[in-house]
């Protein structure tokens, strides 16, 4: 039983698939945060522009 656990942990230590998945998840989270920030800024700018046009009319 103990030998099975040791071999499992050894195999898990040398497995790099989890690291790649974590890196992809971090990149996806970063891209998502940038998109949300860009849309928030863009939305505020568009709202301000529409308000200015409305006030000038």
- Checking if the pLDDT of 43 tops 70, the result is yes
Q: What is the pLDDT of residue 14?
A: 72
- Checking if the pLDDT of 44 tops 80, the result is yes
Average pLDDT over residues 44-50: 89
As a whole number of angstroms, the distance between CA 34 and CA 28 comes to 10
Q: What is the pLDDT of residue 12?
A: 67
> Across the chain, how many H-helices and E-strands are there?
2, 0
Average pLDDT over residues 10-36: 83
Max Cα separation, the chain? 80
Look-up: residue for tokens 């301000």? 48
């Amino acid at each position: 039983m103990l030998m099975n656990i040791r071999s499992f942990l050894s195999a898990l230590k040398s497995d790099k698939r989890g690291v790649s998945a974590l890196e992809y998840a971090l990149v996806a989270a970063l891209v998502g945060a940038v998109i949300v920030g860009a849309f928030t800024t863009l939305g505020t700018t568009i709202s301000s522009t529409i308000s200015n046009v409305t006030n000038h009319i």
